[in-house]
Each structure stands twice: as C-alpha cells, then as structure tokens.
Amino acid sequence: MCGIVGYVGEKSALDVVIEGLRRLEYRGYDSAGVAVLTDGVLVSDKRAGKLQNLEKALQDTPLPVGKTGLGHTRWATHGAPTDANAHPHLDNAGKVAVVHNGIIENFAALRAELAERGHTLLSETDTEVVTHLLAEQFEPSGRDLAEAMRRVCRRLEGAFTLVAVHADAPDVVVGARRNSPLVVGRGEGENFLASDVAAFIAHTREAVELGQDQVVELRREGVTITDFAGGPGTFREYHVDWDASAAEKDGYDYFMLKEIAEQPKAVADTLLGRIGADGRLTLDEVRIPDQVLREVDKVVIIACGTSFHAAMIAKYAIEHWTRVPCEVELASEFRYRDPILDRQTLVITISQSGETMDTLMAQRHAREQGAKVLAICNTNGSTMPREADAVLYTHAGPEVAVASTKAFLTQLVACYLVALYLGQTRGTKWGDEITEVIEQLAAMPEQVDKVLDTMEPVRELARSLKDATSVLFLGRHVGFPVALEGALKLKELAYMHAEGFAAGELKHGPIALIEDGLPVVVVVPSPRGRSVLHDKIVSNIQEIRARGAKTIVIAEEGDEAVVPYADHLIRIPVTPVLLQPLVATVPLQVFACELATAKGHEVDQPRNLAKSVTVE
Ligand code: F6R
C-alpha cells in the first residue's frame, strides 16, 4: 500500500524515480508525486490520479535535473486523493520533502503540537507532521538528516515507511521503517530505496532487507543502517533471483493475463528441489525441528483474501493427510477474539506480499503466545518470513496485477507440501504415498497448461455476461473455497455482485436469490473418490436450474452426469480430488479477467484496491 522510491547517484533522479514508481503503481494509484534536489534547491510536483497524470504534468512543466530524489504512489488512508494530499509533503520553508507508507497513529496529537509552535499544515494527511518534525530537528541534529529522522521516529506511533530529502543535505536520502516494507538496492556509485525490489531491479539485483525500527542513510558511496537509537542496524543482504524482464508485461495487454499464463511454470518452480537424495520430501527453509512438529496438536492457518482461500483448501489436505485438527482464520479477526494457542500449536501464515498488516499482526500475536509460526510467502525480504520461525517460499516470481492468480496456485502447492511434510514427520503417511502425491503434483503444470489452452469458450461466455448484475458461485469440499475465490475475482475486477456458497448451504437461504437467468457457476467435485459429494452437487444443479438459473458447470473430463443440467460446460482435466483447485480456479480467473475487460475496467489496477495492504 503506497509505493516509495528514493535514489542517489549519477543518473537523473527523476527518471529513476518515475521508472520505479511505474513498477510500484500496483501498490496504490490514487496520486503520485516526486521531489528532486538540484543545486541545493528542492523541487517537487505531485498530482491526484494515476502516475500518468504526473508524467503529463512533468512533460508540460519539466523539473530541473537533479541526482538525488524520491517519489511516491499513493493508496489514500488519511485524506481524499487530491493534489494537496498527494506525497511528497514539504515543510513551510520548502526544504524538506517526505513520502510515507503506513499510518501514524498519534498524528492528531503531533499536529496540534506543531500548530501551537506556529507550523502551518496544508494537507489532511498524517504524513505531513513528519515533514515538520524533521524540519524542526534538522539543526539540533547537527544538520544530520539521519539523526533528525531517528529523533522523529522515536516520537511516532503506528506503522510507517518514511523516505526524506533535505535541501541542505545534498546527495543524501534517508529512510526509516517500522512495520511497513522498505528495501535498499545497492549499485555502483548509486543506491536506491524502495517498497519493493521491482522499483530498482533494472539497475541492481543486490538488495538489503532492513530489520524492524531501522533508519538508513543513502549516499552515492554507501549505505549506513542504524536502529532508532543510533545503535548498530539489523539487516540482511541478498541477491534477487529474478530480473527486470520478470516484471514486464512481455507482450500481454495486462499483467494479469501474463500472470495467469505463467501459472504452469510457477507451480513447477514451487515444486522444484523438494525431494532429497534419499527420496524423502525436504523443505529446506522449514527450520522447525521434527520433534516439535511431532508434538503439534493443532494447526491454525491465518491469511486474508485470496490467500485465505488457499488456507481453506489447505485445511482439507492437512486434516486428511495428517489427522491433526486444523483451523482456518481470517487474519483481521484472529487476534481480537483471544485465540487459544500454545507451544503445541503450529500457526501457518499465508501471504503473497509478506507485508499484509492484518496477517503480520496475527503472526506476531501467535508467536507471543508461544506458537511456532511457519510463513508461506512469495516475497523474499518481506517482514513475515523474516519474523517467522520458518518459511516456505512460493516461487511465483513477481506478481504485479492487483488480483492474485499465480501466487494463489503456488500457495496451494506450498500448502500441499507442508501437509505432506507433516504427514512424513509424524508418520501418518507412508513414503510411497507421499511419492505418489508428489508425482501427481509434478503432473499439475501440464494439466494447468491444458486448461489454459481451452479458455476461448470461457472468454466468450464472460463477454456474453457483460450486462449481468450478479453471479453466484457454488462448490463443495475443496470446490467451496474455489467458488469463493471465483466470486472474489469477479467482485474486485468486474465490480459485480458475486457471492460464493457451499452448495449444501443453498437450501438454507441463498436459494432465494435464484431467479430467471441468474448465472450460477458450479464447481463440481470429481465423480471418483468422494462421489457422494458429486451426486449431491448434481442434485443442487438441478434444483437451481429448476428455478431458472443459467448454470455454468465446471466439471472433469468424462463426467457425463452433469451434461443434461449444464447450460455451459467448462471441462477441466481429471485430477486427484484434493488437487482439483489447481485446475478448477483457472477458468474462474480467466472469466473474471475477460468480463472486467469487456466492461472496460482496468484489469491490473481495480478501483479502490492496492496489492499490498499494509494498514489494518
Ligand atoms: C485478491 C487479492 C487479495 C490478497 C490479500 C492478501 O485477488 O489479491 O485478496 O490475497 O490482500 O494479500 P497477501 O497474500 O499479500 O497477504
């Protein structure tokens, strides 16, 4: 939420910053702004709306060239998305510029205090107080911007990433972080700060992950990191294992289309190297000792949104393969209901970004209660894996479109792996059973590919439903979370009323929604395995069809029982029951994406949303 870039080096800071903001626009697109230091003078421009508004303004009225600068793309929290509330915020003398991601919880008190001391604050944002505090602290700190930042940070409550420049501190950019992401990029004679490595990946792949409550000072020749008290910093240097091309659209109209198409590879990459020389499943990053895993008596999985749907599916696999009770919880609800956790609880957090504030806070709460936490995450260098006891990385590569697709499929793979690993460690699964599932998983990239190859009728169907006002999604067993995911995708992309239900719940109320012509998508479980469920859902399809619903049925190849009741039939390959979400979700992603496109929506940047939700 909000994207931040800082640069110091030999290039035009404006060019570097704008390019970085373009790659971070997925984090928020309510406004954009830049500030550049040029010959001891601070110049700035900022505009409401997308980055292109700012770029247009800068074409009409260019800023002087400077080699130190910062920029911001905003997802509004305090104050409407106007020019005045856009970042950067400057002090009254126009010397300090600050950009911010997060929420400063004590800003009202600080604002009142500043007003009393004669400061005039021009915006409704919480950020502006930092600008004024920094301006006040600069001289008393010996004109050392990093020291001024440390002093200011000690007064702030809440979550924040801050980046600042000062006209009287040439060639210096200072950043600070608490609970919000900030990564350093180290180049030759130039250094970068950003919310995400994507912003500087075209310049360097050498990154530094900052610990909690750190201040970083960037100069051309180096980077200095300290804690808020000025003591030694905590950080980890790492090499980013993907390059700029991974964050490009690559000929696709939208990142979402590219990311849907990348799913077979993402699934394959997440499975890579998981079998050791002894033929056993090895999850190298899972540093929780086997003995601890053997003593676990409950698993709790915590996540938000799409990641929560992955968690729901994981529950089926974990309970079936390990016989350990598994609870699934929305992160935003978790810590507020006093959950029962202890040393024998294994908590799994699932997050693409590793920065979602609700999940991060839930993870911290779980650790405070003594539970061991395993984070399933897609973003190296992010906060959740750093703070967890163990991590399992998904290898989806950068996901830029706001709507999650390939991250979801890889989260499922990671969940299956964790479930199998628990089964292996606790002896509830034989070695050959595990090998069999791993082989089935290894076949999934090809199956996903097959689904992708047959999507034209789904796109056509989506276009034909452009004027529908509502779509329902039904599923049973692991198809239920898939239905929820289908509905979520449609809501966020097509801005349509969409709801997912467990098909068995229909008769307990939602069936009253069915009326003539209402499109209802039904995810049908495999007729093999749990065939009772299959038969029940076929009855459910008949029930809704009898009441006028237009049935869109997603069913396995060869499932003939559904044919008479399907107005539209979408075929998916035959898969093991528990793995079906890996193929059944794909048509729903394509459906939502195409419907949104038909409605003329911006698929990669749906309204009101941001990819990384760093506020609670
Ligand atoms: C939906 C979507 C969101 C995220 C949710 C959690 O397409 O992308 O619902 O899944 O905000 O984000 P992460 O996984 O980064 O914690």
Q: What confidence tens digit (pLDDT) does each residue in 295-319 have?
A: 999 999 999 999 999 999 999 999 9
| pLDDT at res. 581 | 98
| Mean pLDDT value of segment 119-124 | 90
Residue nearest atom 10 of ligand 1, based on CA coordinates:
306
Write out the catalytic residue numbers.
2, 611
Most confident of 21-30, 249-258, 365-374: 365-374
Task: Report pLDDT for 541.
Answer: 96
pLDDT of residue 203: 97
- Residue 248's pLDDT band, with cuts at 50, 70 and 90, is confident
What is the percent of the chain where pLDDT is above 70?
100
At residue 251, the pLDDT reads: 82
User: If you measure from the C-alpha of residue 304 to the centroid of ligand 1, how many angstroms do you get, rounded to a whole number?
Assistant: 6
Ligand 1 atom at minimal distance to the Cα of residue 613: 11
pLDDT: which is higher, 179 or 111: 111
> Ligand 1: which residue has its CA nearest to atom 5?
305
Q: Which tokens hold the place of 385?
A: 């894996």
What is the CA(356)–ligand 1 centre distance, in A? 8
Q: Using CA positions, which residue lies closest to atom 3 of ligand 1?
A: 305
* Distance between Cα 125 and ligand 1 center (Å): 25
Distance 523 CA to ligand 1 centre (A): 22
Give yes or no for residue 382 having a pLDDT over 90. Answer: no
Q: Per residue in 356-380, pLDDT tens?
A: 999 999 999 999 999 999 999 999 8
Atom of ligand 1 nearest to the CA of 353: 15
Residue 323 has pLDDT above 90, yes or no: yes
Residue ranges and CATH numbers for the domains of the chain are: 3-247 (3.60.20.10), 255-442 (3.40.50.10490), 452-598 (3.40.50.10490)
Q: Report the 10 Å Cβ neighbour count for 271.
A: 20
Choose which residue among 75, 256, 307 to substitute to test ligand 1 binding: the one with the highest number of ligand atoms within 8 A of its C-beta: 307
Q: How far apart are the first and last CA of the chain?
A: 11
The token pair that represents 525 in the structure block: 């479980």
Confidence of residue 605 (pLDDT cuts 50, 70, 90): confident
Residue nearest ligand 1's atom 13 by CA: 351
H helix and E strand count, the chain: 19, 24
* Residue 552 to residue 519: CA distance in whole angstroms: 7
Q: Is the Cβ–Cβ distance between 70 and 99 less than 8 Å?
A: yes
Q: How far is the CA of 174 from the centre of ligand 1 (A)?
A: 30
- Tokens found for residue 478: 């692991």
Q: Is the pLDDT of residue 530 over 70?
A: no
Q: How confident is the model at residue 184 (pLDDT cuts 50, 70, 90)?
A: very high
Torsion of CA 329, 331, 332, 334, to 10 degrees: 60
* pTM exceeds 0.75: yes
Q: What is the mean pLDDT of residues 51-61?
A: 95
| Best residue for ligand 1 mutational test, from 353, 391, 412, 489 (most atoms within 8 Å of Cβ) | 353
Bridge partner residues of 368 (DSSP) = none
- pLDDT band, very low/low/confident/very high, at 611 (cuts 50, 70, 90): confident
Distance of alpha carbon 574 from alpha carbon 451, whole angstroms:
11
385 pLDDT band, cuts 50/70/90, is: very high
Centroid of ligand 1 to alpha carbon of 73 (angstroms): 19
Average pLDDT over the chain, rounded to an integer: 94
Measuring from each residue's beta carbon to the nearest atom of ligand 1, which residues come in under 6 Å? 304-307, 351-353, 356, 359, 403-404, 488, 492, 613
Count of residues making up the chain = 616
Which of 350, 352, 589 to mutate to test ligand 1, by most ligand atoms within 8 A of the CB atom? Answer: 352
- State mean pLDDT over 549-576: 97
241 or 578, greater pLDDT: 578
525 vs 533: CA distance, rounded Å? 7
Specify the ligand 1 atom closest to the Cα of 405: 7
The residue ranking higher by pLDDT, 248 or 45, is 45
> What would the mean pLDDT of 17-21 be, rounded to a whole number?
97
Phi-psi region of 323 (alpha: psi -120 to 50; beta: other; left: phi over 0): left
- The DSSP annotation for 566-600 comes to -SEEEEE----GGGTHHHHHHHHHHHHHHHHHHTT
Ligand 1 mutation target, pool 404, 490, 607, most atoms within 8 A of CB: 404
Would you state the structure tokens that stand for residue 157, as one six-digit string?
A: 């409550």
pLDDT band at residue 170, thresholds of 50, 70 and 90? very high
Distance 112 CA to ligand 1 centre (A): 36
